[in-house]
Structure 1
C-alpha cells in the first residue's frame, strides 16, 4: 500500500493548488480525481468554459451591434454555436492538460477514480474499470467542490430542462431561454444566449438580481441587461416546470400572488450550488457535516478529525474558485508549520457579464445594518476618456469609507474590465488604505482604472476632477 504525507480528494482549483503547494513544501503528495480529466467543475464545466462562451458571444454581439460605429463594415455575421462550443472545448482541454503538466512537474502522484475514506488514514480509490486500490496518508484534504442545486418540481432531463453544465454545450441557440435564478451563473449564461439572439427571461424569487452584492450594482446591472433585451420577473416564486415535447412551461406566482406562466424552448435551472460529499465515506472517518451538508471545519480548515482538512465549496463561505485556491495554499502551509492568513472579508466577487460586475468588502446595505458611520463616493464610467474611446459607457465605481478614519470598507464597480480592476481595490484594502490614499495615487491615463481614483476623490471630499 502506497504511503503519502498528504492526499487530496478532488482536483479543482482548491485541490490541485493544494497539491502543488504541498509538493513545493516537501510533502509526498497524492491527488485523487474521479473523472478522467483534472480541474474539477471550474475548469471543465464552470469558470473556464463559461468565460470562453462569454467572450465568443461578446465578439458576435459587437460584430452585430458595434462594429459599424467603429467604422468596420462587414456582412451580417452568423453565430456558429457548434464552432463556439468546439472552441470552448479546446480552451478547456488546453487548461486541463496544463494541470496535468503541473502535477508531473511537481511530482504529485495522480490517481483516477472515486476516492472515499476507509478510515481516517486510509483512502479507497474505486476505478472506472471496477478495480480498487488503497493508499494511506498522514493528512488528507477534502476538496470535492459542489454541484448544481435543483428544484423538487423541476426534473432535470439534460435536454430542455438543464443546469449550467448542459447550457455550456447546447447544439442550438435557444429561441427563448428561461433562466430560473438571477444569480451569477444564470446571468452569465443568460447573457451568452441573449447576445447570440435568444429571447431570455430571468425569473428570480428575490426582489433583485445578484442579491449578495451591493444594491447599487444590482440596480445598474438589471438596467443594463434590460437594455440588452433580457426580461426580468422578480419577486416571483416558481412552483412548476413542465416539458411538452420541445416546449417548456414555467409556472409560479408573482409578488401580488397572481399566477404567472412563461413558455420557452429551454429552461436553465440556476438556483445555486450545494457541496459534493456523496460517496466520500465520511462516516467511516468520523468527519462531521453541518446542517447544510458542508464539512465542518475550524479556523485552520481542520475537521473534527485532526488529520483531515477540507477546503473550497465543500466548506462554509462563498463558492468561488479563488477562495478555494487560497484555502488550498493555506492548508498546505498550516501542515508545514507556517502561519498563513486569509482575510475572508477581502475575497472579491465577480459577475462576468458585459459590463462586468465586481465587489470586495462590505456592501452599503451591510454597513448600514451594522450602524456604521460611512461616506460614499462614486464615479460614472461614461465620464472617462477611455470609456468614450472604447464605447463602454455603462457603469460606475463606488467606494465606501469609514466616516471618521477614511479607511476603505468596500469597493463596488460595474463596467468594462471590472473583473481585473477589482484586484487594485483588494490590494488597497489589504493594506488598510484610506480613500485619500487611493485618491493620491497616480493612475495611468486614459484607463478604466481612473474611475477608482475619481471615486476615491469623491468619497474623500467630493472633489472628483472629471465629474
Structure 2
C-alpha cells in the first residue's frame, strides 16, 4: 500500500499550492524540499526578496525627490545596506515560515531532502524511499548563463547573488533586458549605481507590446539606466575586484568593452530537472530539460509536472494555477487553467502589466481590432502622487468589442491588470468596463477611460 496519495517534489509556488490543495481535497500528501526553508526560488531568492528591495529603494527615491515638494522637510535618509538586506531577509523568513504553518495546518508532510524518482510510484530522499500513487514534479527553474561566462555570485552574479551583494556597486552591468534584469537594475540605480543594460535584441522586454516597451525604456533611461541594444556579449572577464564585459554590436560588428564592479547575468532561466531520475523513469524530457506534458500529465502514468519545469511562461502564478489544477485532476475533478488569461507584471516604478494579446500579435493574426488608450496624466490620483507617467491600452475586437489584450504602464499596474483578467475570463467587452462605475479618485479610473476610448472616447482627455 502506498505511503501517500500524492508526493510533490519541490515547494515553490506551484509545489506548495499543489500540496495544500491536494490535502484540502482529502488526499494524503507529502512535499519533498531540500532547502532549509519552504517556498522555492520565489520566496527565498526570487519574487519576494526582490520586491522587498524594490519597495525599500522606491521609498528612498520618494524621500530624495518628492518629500520636500509635499512639505516633508529634513535631511534625506542615508542607506544602511546591511540593514536593508536584513529587512529583506526578515520578509523572506516571515513568508517561508508562513508556508510551513500552512503545511502543518493542512497536514502536509514535509520530507526534508532532495528527491529522486527511483521506481514506479517511488521517490527516494536520502536513504529513505516513499511510495505514492501520484508524483508531481514541481522543481522550478534555475538561472541560465551564457557560454564562457562563469558565475561566482560575487563579481559575476545571477539574480540570487544580486540580492546579497556585500556592498552597493559603483558600476553595475546587467546582461539581458528582461524582467529580472530591469527590476534588479532599477534597485541599484536608485541606490546610486551606474547601471548599464546590455541586450542582444534591438528592444527591451521581449514579448511585450512594442509601444509599452518603448515608453518603458524611456522612463528607465530618465531614471538613470543606460541601454546598449543589439549587442552580443562575447565574454566576461572577472578580475580580483572588478570585471570586464566584452560585446559586439550587431549593426557594424564593432567590439566594445565595459568595466564593471559587478555583472548581473539575467539571460533567462532553465528548468531544474537534472538528477530527478526522469529519463530513467521513462518520462519524456526535451534537450533543454523541459518536461513534456498533456494537461499536466507526463507520458508515464501517475507522474505529473507543473510550473517552470514544463512549457509556457515561467511565472509563479502560472505554476500556482497548474498546481491547483493537478490537485483537482488527481482528486477526480476537472482541473482547468486558462492560458489566455495569465497576467505578467514588472515591479519597477512605474509598474508594467499585461494580459492577453499584444498589438503586434493581433497584426500578425490579421485580426481586426480597436485600440483604446488613456494616459495617467489625465488621472487625478496619479498626478497627486507624482506618477502621471504611462498609460492604459486596451485592445478589443473591432466587430464584437470583446477585450483581446490589456497593457498598462503606470502606478499599481500589477494590481489594476486583474480587473482586465476578470473581464476577459468572463468574455467581457470594452463597453462592459466602460459602463462599470469606478471609485474616484483611483488609478483604476484610467482603465475605465481606456475602455471608453474603445468607444466614443474618454472623458478626461
* TM-score interval (norm. to shorter): over 0.9
Shift of 1:412: 0.2
Superposition TM-score, scaled by structure 1 size: 0.97
Q: 2:407 & 2:178 partners in 1: Cα distance?
A: 17
Cα shift at 1:160: 0.4
Is the 8 Å Cα contact of residues 349 and 360 (structure 1) preserved in structure 2? yes
Residue from 444, 452, 456 that aligns with 1:457 = 452
- Cα distance in 2, alignment partners of residues 315 and 350 from structure 1: 20
Deviation at 1:68, TM superposition (A): 1.0
The match for 1:366 is 361
Cα distance, 1:73 vs structure 2? 0.9
Structure 2: distance between partners of 1:336 and 1:76 = 56
User: For residues 12-23 of structure 1, what are the structure 2 equivalents within 5 Å?
Assistant: 12-23=12-23
Deviation at 1:2, TM superposition (A): 6.6
1:76 corresponding residue in structure 2: 76
Q: Which residue of 2 aligns with 1:123?
A: 123
* Post-superposition offset of 1:257: 1.6
Q: 1:237 aligns with which of 214, 228, 232?
A: 232
Q: Secondary structure of 2:424's match?
A: helix
- The structure 2 residue matched to 1:288, chosen from 274, 284, 287, is 284
Deviation at 1:291, TM superposition (A): 3.7
Paired with 2:60 and 2:336, the residues of 1 have a C-alpha distance of: 43
Runs of 4 or more off by more than 6 Å in structure 1? Answer: none
Matches for 1:204-219 after TM superposition, within 5 Å: 204-219=199-214
Please, which runs of 5 or more residues in structure 2 have no aligned partner? none
Structure 2 match to 1:223 = 218
SS of residue in 1 equivalent to 2:235: strand
User: What is the distance in 2 between the residues matched to 1:2 and 1:48?
Assistant: 36
Q: Single out whichever of 335-344 and 266-275 deviates more from structure 2.
A: 335-344
1:29 alignment partner in structure 2: 29
| CA contact 1:120–1:308 (8 Å) conserved in 2 | no
CA distance in 1, matches of 2:288, 2:451: 39
Alignment of 1:261-272 (within 5 A): 261-272=257-268
The 5 A counterparts of 1:56-455 are 56-126=56-126, 132-254=127-249, 255-298=251-294, 300-455=295-450
Q: Is the 8 A contact 1:12 1:144 kept in 2?
A: yes
Alpha-carbon distance in structure 2 between the residues aligned to 1:455 and 1:291: 44
Is contact 1:399-1:455 (8 Å) kept? yes
Q: Deviations over 1:232-253 (max 9, x none)?
A: 0011111011122212111111
**Equivalent residues of 2:327, 2:335 under 8 A apart:** no
Is contact 2:159-2:265 (8 Å) kept?
A: yes
Structure 1 gaps, min length 5? 127-131
Answer whether contact 1:120 1:305 (CA < 8 A) is retained: no
Q: CA deviation digits over 1:58-94, x for unaligned, max 9?
A: 1111111111111111213211111111000000001
Could you tell me which residue of structure 2 aligns to residue 129 of structure 1?
none
CA distance, structure 2, for counterparts of residue 34 and residue 203 of structure 1: 35
Distance (whole Å) between structure 1 residues aligned to residue 218 and residue 378 of structure 2? 18
Distance 1:344 1:217 in 2: 22
Q: Aligned-pair distance for 1:284?
A: 2.7
2:460 aligns to what?
A: 466
For 1:202 and 1:65, locate their aligned partners in 2 and report how far apart those are by CA, in whole Å. 24
In structure 2, what is the Cα distance between the partners aligned to 1:32 and 1:69? 52
Cα distance in 2 for partners of 1:290, 1:163 equals 24
The offset of 1:157, in angstroms, is 1.2
Tell me the distance in 2 between the aligned counterparts of 1:283 and 1:137. Answer: 19
Q: Which residue number corresponds to residue 6 of structure 1?
A: 6
Indicate the SS of the match to 1:411.
strand
SS class of match (1:285): coil
Corresponding residue SS for 1:282: coil
1:368 alignment partner, SS class: helix
> So what's the TM-score if we normalise by structure 2?
0.99
- Alpha-carbon distance in 2 for matches of 1:428, 1:342: 16
Number of residues of Structure 1 aligned to a counterpart in Structure 2:
460
State the alpha-carbon separation in 2 of the partners of residues 453 and 427 from structure 1.
Answer: 14
